[in-house]
Structure 1
Amino acid sequence: MAAGGDHGAPYSYHSFPKMCFVFSNRNKFQTWWQLWLWLAEAEQTLDLPINEQIQEMKSNLDNMDFKMTAEEEKQLQHDVMAYVPTFGHCCPKAAGIIHLSATSCYVGDNTDLIILRNAFDLLLLKLARVISRLADFTKEHTHLPTLGFTHFQHAQLITVEKCYCLWIQDLCMDLQNLCFRGVKSTTGTQLDKIVLEKAGFKRAFIIPGQMYSRKADIEALPMLASLGASGHKIFTDMCNLKETEEPFDKQQIVSSAIPYKRNPMSSEGCCSLARHLMTLLMNPLQTASVQWFERTLDDNTILNTLHNISEGLVVYSKVIEQCIRQELPFMATENIIMALVKTGGSRQDCHEKIRVLSQQAAHVVKQEGDDNDLIERIQSDAYFSPIHSQLQHLLDPSSSIGRAPQQVQRFLEEEVYPLLKP
């Protein structure tokens, strides 16, 4: 809700000022005027004597009269032709050359491509910052064991840092896709090559129609949808694990009825936006088939929230330790079997003994609500006496995380930080 009770633009609530400006009407129409100026400058290099007119245009790029434009468009029923006389009113000497040799799509389509490119540049910067913050956060929690999950069931131990690196790895793939396949082309021929360079594009469509190929939109949106999928997984993992929490302000209220609640409001909101973004994949396909144009800003919202969350993530190591204490006896059974076999025991006999004792311990946990007593049962069983002295070592969580810390260090040094270099 904007100041004074007025509704703002739909994207203003979910975006940040720079991205709002990129997609604002002012930026759109200022880019139209800028494109007309670049066109005039390009025509001047082809011996059109318009130096005085160009100087006048340069002086009036920000001199926009939206009220006059609205009146012109009401009469002409054409958006581009409404801005031509408006710009001409500000630049009377240049009025006769504005839009010279151009079509409506010269300003319309090239502005859309410039907006997409500039929006991608902002996304790249934000995504790089998110990756950098997650990478730094990862380095602060090295060698901290936690329970892994497969099929949403407790599995073997991994480390907190490796969990984060799985998120970072997905985001790095998104960053590379945005870098390699961003908007790089505009429409043009010989004259337009000069405009092309002024607009900051490296190449033009060799075979341009009146409009740029909407295949460019088809290429762009899947990358953004992929970014949405990455964000959705990160937020969902955090909500489900309850071991890592998004930042929570001291004065924050998340429920008007239940005061103790700490709902992951930012994460849940971004999951909703991510789902919407992923459903838009069909949109550019339909758009290309009818030569229309659509855009979305949901990807930017997801990155904004990821940016904020990654800056203030909290890890509850005691919660992790409590979960490990409950599950570690089961996690350690494989190590116990291997240790007993080393003393000359039978793998099959040991496996059966462990299976029976594990089921008994699970019954205590699930049916009686008591702590996991599997280790006490093993210590009380004479069959396991050859390894009783080793149990403390076998139950050390750090003995079950393998090379996860080394893998994380290598991943950060070889994959993440080189990718973040300017």
Structure 2
Amino acid sequence: MKKMSLLKVDKLTVQFGGIKALTAIDFEMEEKEILAIIGPNGAGKTTLFNCVSGVYHPTSGEILFDGESLLGLSPEPVATQVIPRDRHAEFFCSLGMIAGTAERIAVNLRLFQRTEVSELFEPFGKGQKGSSAMPHKRNPILAENITGLARTVRSYVSPALEDMVLWHERDISHSSVERMIAPDATSLCEFLLYRLAKVIAGVEVDEARIRANMEITQGLVFSEAVLLALVRSGQPRQKAYEAVQRCAMAARSGQGTFFDLLSRDPLISELLPPRELDQLFDLNHHLRHVPTILDRVLHKE
């Protein structure tokens, strides 16, 4: 299958009244390709550029950029000599938020990979070194790299916002900034997203360690579920909170498991029979909405 050209002009014709400025112009450009358009004055060079940039609308023909038509796009409603830079600022803010989301995922992975947690691990290839000095280490270097790149992308948001202010709506103070931040921010954002996809695709999950970490709490992670169940049963929230907290503090001090202490508490045992209490401590009950959430995210149109 032939790769689609980055820019394709197909049978482009422009007519002003009874005069044709362009007649059935065809050409294609690939990424990183330079194309020169040469001709005498009045040959239609400027008209062609104005069609591609959206200043003129062709009489017939098509202009495609990366497979998408450039025709019919809405014009900038308040352009002066330049397009207002708030458009650009919004774009860089979007890149900053994308980078921030990627960093949020990367940082959480790094936290889960800490030795004392050890629940999730980024991919680690055969022969790879976690540390040049300490052979036992398995550092999340990809997630750390994503974190650093995300900070760099976000740092470009501030100059993009400052570029919104131009003298008399037209100076070139924005130009030098955009020439630096535009290629950097877009390239870095693309790179860190590809790297993040690689990390997520190869992430390793230690389910046994996750369960062990949860069991360290002696069931305290289910305290909210117990509190809400007591409230649903008609118990005043403050009184229910105090009862659950009393059992939780006793469990923390080693007087028994949270479940056993709840079962022996007169107030709680009266309102929550053993079967219902068992359900509140069932992990599957707390994960019951996960498939729906994943389906909602992964199959969102």
Q: Aligned match of 1:47 in 10, 14, 20?
A: 20
Go from structure 1 to structure 2 and tell me whether the alpha carbon gap of 1:320 and 1:47 turns closer, same or farther (over 3 Å shift). same
Question: Which of 397, 402, 407 matches 2:282?
Answer: 397
The one-character-per-residue Cα deviations of 1:225-284 (angstroms, maximum 9, x if unpaired) are 111121111111222233222222122112001111111111111111112222222222
1:224 aligns with 95
**Counterpart in 2 of 1:251?**
127
Question: In structure 1, how many angstroms separate the alpha carbons of the residues matched to 2:95 and 2:106?
Answer: 17
- My pick for the range that moved more, 197-206 or 231-240, is 197-206
In the other structure, the counterpart of 2:257 is: 374
Rounded Cα–Cα distance in structure 1 between residues aligned with 2:231 and 2:76: 71
Aligned to 1:315: 205
Q: Which residue of structure 2 aligns with residue 263 of structure 1?
A: 139
Mapping 1:277-296, distance limit 5 Å: 277-288=153-164, 289=166, 290-292=173-175, 293-294=178-179, 295=182, 296=185
How far, CA to CA, are the matches of 1:376 and 1:417 in structure 2?
38
User: 1:197 aligned to 2:197?
Assistant: no
Question: In the alignment, which of 217, 224, 227 is matched to residue 327 of structure 1?
Answer: 217
Q: Distance in 2 between matches of 1:386 and 1:98?
A: 92
Could you state the TM-score of these two structures normalised by the residue count of structure 1? 0.48
Indicate how the Cα distance of structure 1 residues 256 and 203 shifts in structure 2: closer, same or farther if over 3 A, else same: same
> Is the partner of 1:203 in helix, strand or coil?
coil
Structure 1 segment 105-116 matched on structure 2, within 5 A: 106=49
Identity of aligned residues (%): 17
CA RMSD in angstroms, aligned pairs only: 5.0
Q: Distance in 2 between matches of 1:347 and 1:285?
A: 47
1:377-401 Cα deviation digits (max 9, x unpaired): 7399696996899388257432651
Count of aligned positions = 268
Greater CA deviation, 303-312 or 234-243? Answer: 234-243
C-alpha deviation, 1:197, in angstroms: 3.2
The answer as to whether partners of 2:22 and 2:44 remain within 8 angstroms in 1 is no
Supply the distance in 2 between the matched residues of 1:267 and 1:396 (Cα, whole angstroms).
Answer: 34
The letter of the residue matching 2:197 is H
Distance 2:237 2:163 in 1: 63
Query: Does the CA contact (< 8 Å) of 2:96 and 2:153 recur in 1?
Result: yes
One-letter code of the match for 1:397? D
Hey, which of these two has a bigger chunk of helix by percent?
Answer: 1
Residue in structure 1 matched with residue 192 of structure 2 by the alignment: 302
Deviations 1:296-344 (A, max 9, x none): 222112211121012112221111101111124223456667899999x
Q: Select the structure with the greater relative contact order (CA < 8 A; seq sep ≥ 6).
A: 1
Paired amino acid for 1:359 = M
Query: Which residue pairs with 2:170 in the alignment?
Result: none
Change in CA separation of 1:417 and 1:97 when aligned onto 2, cut-off 3 Å: farther
Q: Residues 56-135 of structure 1: matches in 2 within 5 Å?
A: 87=36, 94-96=38-40, 100-102=44-46, 106=49
TM-score by length of 2: 0.64
Which SS does the other structure have where 1:217 is aligned? helix
Pairing 1:113-192 to 2, within 5 Å after superposition: 186-190=53-57
Within the candidate set 232, 241, 259, 2:112 is matched to: 241
Q: 1:326 is matched by which residue type in structure 2?
A: I
With over 3 angstroms needed to count, the CA separation of the structure-2 counterparts of 1:48 and 1:39, relative to structure 1, is: farther
